[in-house]
Structure 1
Amino acid sequence: MDYRIALPKLLPPVSYDRNGAELKISLLAEANALNTVQAHATKVLNAVTPFYAGELLEDWERVLGLIIDKADLYQARLERVLEKLAEVGGLSIPYFIGLAAKTGYEISISEGADEIFRAGVNRVGDRLGSDDLLWVWRVHVKSKFEKIYYFRAGMSHANDRLRVYADPALEAILNDLKPAFTYITFFYSDLNEES
């Protein structure tokens, strides 16, 4: 609907001179304002689905907790949004291994429950372990993407390890999606030195 055509038709035919110069200017200003509101409302309506979000795709990224990088192609950003929406989630270890594999990481996960002493399974002299180990996952990363932090004089502190492996992106993903009652520890294979 074009409000420049619709607004004059709303005037009573006898009370107003539709061809009056001042009335035309007033109606044109109001029509332009209403047309602008209509255009913005259409953009918001289209943004209900990410397929037609356009410049409002940034809101989808923000709500889904994605990292917003405006330098990326729009198509790549839309694809990340759609992938995030398609995630069905899961609490199983195979789900997390598959999730890491999709992003280029090779991991394995072991549960701390394997280290708790159990009658009929363990023997005299075995460690008893803590009941809290039941809620610990050990993620073993076998990827070349991790960062290596070396102990450096002036930058490191007493009790820091001499070498630490870390991959903040992977750790953030798994810590964000892990079951709330679990704690994850990460172990990195030294693949960079093997090659």
Structure 2
Amino acid sequence: MPSADRRLQPRRRPRQVRAELTRGRILTAAAHVFAEYGYAAGTTNRIAERAHISIGSLYQYFPNKDAILAELMVRHIDRGTWAEADELDLSPGSLEATVRALVRDAMDNHRDDPQLLRIMIEEASFSQELLDTIERHGKKRVGQVRDLLARHPDVHVGDLDVAAELIVFTVELNTHKLMADLRAVRVETFENELVAMTTRYLRGDQ
């Protein structure tokens, strides 16, 4: 994992509702500006203008646009919780459906704005908060998947811990790549192939 960039440390953590609302407006404005103008042209001046605040006010919260993008990534990752993991059918013969639910959940978490997702992947630097969020989310996701594998009767892998890590990494990495460029392959084709590959691996098919 990359090291944290100290330049990205936010300057002000809101302690009052009004300050939190202002910070939220900056982040919302930045998401729109980056998606509309791209990252290079998505300047802090444009973000401040879109948020209807002065550039000085923006700099009270964030030192630069890299810090803003890092915070947008933190929020993006924190939204990606798998709330329905405990509701899946784990009866014999349901493994493909279970894997499909995992893949679709990852895809649904990245559908909102392909342009912004592409910018996050290509341009984001890593704040300490972002690194901590990635680690926390990854451990939680891997733990959920490992629990599913341990309880499903059709799973036959040599090491549950390694299998869970592999599946989460494979699904997340490929989903990021696809949803950032929907022209690359049809979503339905991607879903079917990723589900088939993962299911065969988990069943121990030769």
TM-score, normalising length: structure 2: 0.24
The structure that is helix-richer by fraction is: 2
* Bigger relative CO (Cα 8 Å, ≥ 6 apart): 2
**Larger Rg computed on CA atoms:** 1
TM-score, normalising length: structure 1: 0.25
